[in-house]
Structure formats: C-alpha cells, structure tokens
Amino acid sequence: MPAESLNEIVIQLGREAIWICLLLSAPVLLAGTAVGLVIGLLQAMTQVQEQTVAFVPKIIVMLLVLSFTLPWLISQMLQYSTDLISGIPGRFF
C-alpha cells in the first residue's frame, strides 16, 4: 500500500472521529450555552451575581438533555464503531 494512500486513510479516519465527537457533544453543549446565556441575561437585569444561580440550572438542563438524547447518542456511537471495524479489511488489506 503506498504511503500517500495510507496518509489519506488516516486523515479520513481522523476527520470522521472529530466529526462524530462534535455531533455527539453538540446537544448537551448547546443546551448548556443557551441556559447560560438566559441566566446571564437575567443576572445582569436583576444585578444578582451569585455563581450557583448559573451553575445549578445549567447542570440540570444538561442532564435532562443528555437523558433525552442518550438513545440517539448510543445509536450514533454504535454505527460509527460498526462502520470503523467493518471497514478495516477494505482499508488496510
């Protein structure tokens, strides 16, 4: 197998891994960001600068989003793993 072809395979595998990481982390991160923004605006309007006021709602919302999206996250991880493992013979041998 030529070195250029192997380099392309490694780059493609890395690109797929980064994409799946971004895809899997997006729901929880977006929910945390949205709640943080809303809480920050409320704190700015009321001039309440307590750290726990922002922390507790973010954790609760992020856990709720994680629990709702967990079946989808698991199916995505299983699909990626299945594709990665089943592609080994075609890519390297």
pLDDT in tens, 8-60: 888 999 999 999 999 999 999 999 999 999 999 998 898 888 878 888 999 99
57 lies in some domain: yes
Looking up tokens 């592609």 gives 87
Domain count, the chain: 1
Helix, strand, coil shares of the chain as percentages rounded to 5? 90, 0, 10
67 lies in some domain: yes
Q: Determine the 3-state secondary structure of 49 from DSSP.
A: coil
Q: Determine the 3-state secondary structure of 84 from DSSP.
A: helix
Rounded to two decimals, the pTM is: 0.79
Containing domain of residue 61, as a range? 49-93
5 lies in some domain: no
41 lies in some domain: no
DSSP H or E segment with residue 87: none
65 lies in some domain: yes
